[in-house]
Structure 1
Amino acid sequence: MSEFFKAELKDRFLEYALERSDYFEIQTLYDEFLRPNYSLQFVERLIKEIQDYDPELLDVMSGNGMDIFMLASTPSTEDFLEDGGFKDMYVKEEEKWDVFLEQLSNNRKLSKDEKKLLKRSSPGFKKEKMLLIVLISAIAISFLFTLISILNSSFLEPDYVPADEFERRMEQLNQQYIQENQRLEKELKDSKTKLDSIFRGP
């Protein structure tokens, strides 16, 4: 299951809770949205993820031998959905990633002054500029190999993967994606800083 579909399900759970003015069983969400393709435990997992993000989004009560048995909306539920909910958070995160990739792939256009400076630059300056370009290219290649490795390990293994293991791998992939994104953003920022300092000159 994709992260976007999980985000959409969480929003649907919150919207359903908001439509009701009473407490309802978690079984109701399962019957309403996920029967018969998923299990009740998967619904519990999504509710726990909502709680981990913000425990004020749902009023949760245990009972009948279950940690999550009855649910109800709270004042925070409506505010959160009006701000866009989990789907909007996912889309914004994807947009940030797209912008980062665009910055990584596009060369910055030089101003007239910078072009003049490049014409007057010494061989040493040109060598440093070339090294920085190679560094940025190496970062991009490193990212692609890392992404391919993650995808291979997560999706292309021939063995049957149980649903719980698949969800765990999806979460692990998401964490690796975030960590790699943060690392590459830092390296790109450092490279841009070095490049800008060279453009400015001594």
Structure 2
Amino acid sequence: MSTKVVTGTVRFSYLNVFKPKAITEGQDPKYSVSLLIPKEDKATLRKIRDAIEAEKKAGAAEKWKGKVPANLKTPLRDGDVERADEHPEYEGMYFLNASSSEKPILLDETKEEVLDQTELYSGCWGRANVNFYCFDVNGNRGIAVGLNALQKKRDDEPLGGMITVESAAADFDDDDDDDGMLG
């Protein structure tokens, strides 16, 4: 069983949706994103918490011998507690990581497929279609998040030092270059 959730508008971080990538050496390559969810988005947070609770019950019934493990790993984490010191964009946010071995569907604001890889980047905002599922692997038990689709909603400052096409073009607007010619 899995539980699908379509989020409200969230910020994409560590966006890796055009080519699968292994997070750690030896791991299978996956498509992935960290979803930064504003703490004031109560509707999205309620849907996520409800999905996690539903998966806890399903996991207890199907995988964990009738009870929820005490050391259960859950995906929703507090950005202020875990990341804000080194990553200011996590301040005032909850976050969760979603991944898939299959390429997710990528849509723009008008629900057309995104073909231009510069269109989606870490830092832009959009909605996510994810599914929650329980796992029990080598004594590791928890709820994970599968990535189904992303829809871009708006641009913002890129995260991680990347620049957008628009900001690169603006950088070249300064016409003070004398082409380096001498003489």
TM range (shorter): under 0.3
TM-score calculated relative to the size of structure 2 = 0.21
Larger radius of gyration: 1
**Greater relative contact order (Cα < 8 A, sep 6+):** 2
Larger proportion of helix: 1
